[in-house]
Structure 1
């Protein structure tokens, strides 16, 4: 089964975009001297917070169906264009709920999403 693609009609906005890499750094205090540190992951888990905007009520219904059916409620992986590099990456939604909609004008919607990627 092919990996679902992030819907092209859902606009990823630069407003509110944030990115954080987690290398799983572990820190161990020593009896004397400096604490030791090491990373657990060779490739980081990267969490991206971004705002998605939809232009119509119909797009909102389509996005909700994509989330429910293609992503099994938000647990499946999907491909999306990275807003910074432009490369296609594989990610999954994190957070509960996966998507919380807010009105952004007549028939317009926006939501803050958390997307997690490996690398």
Structure 2
């Protein structure tokens, strides 16, 4: 199985609509999983550290803020809906990758 980065490299060397869809779906799935795992890990960090974990000198809150920022800029609920819509209805995910692939496909 290719890593997402490898799939992106393949897309850059030979763009296609099929590769664009696969990358978008794999990226969305990765973001959904990462949001869940990061949230659980941060909760455990604060749970294990108890009151000490919120001391400003440790600055552990920056990890939670960073994780939350990434999650809020890429809402997992939308990513999950994108995956579900594709799985149930066959709807192609839309992105700039599709446009790049369509441009390349039309020139071929």
Q: Which has the higher helix share?
A: 2
Q: Which has the higher strand share?
A: 1
Q: RCO (CA 8 Å, sep 6+): is it higher in 1 or 2?
A: 2
- Global fold match (TM > 0.5): no
TM-score by length of 2: 0.29
TM-score by length of 1: 0.27
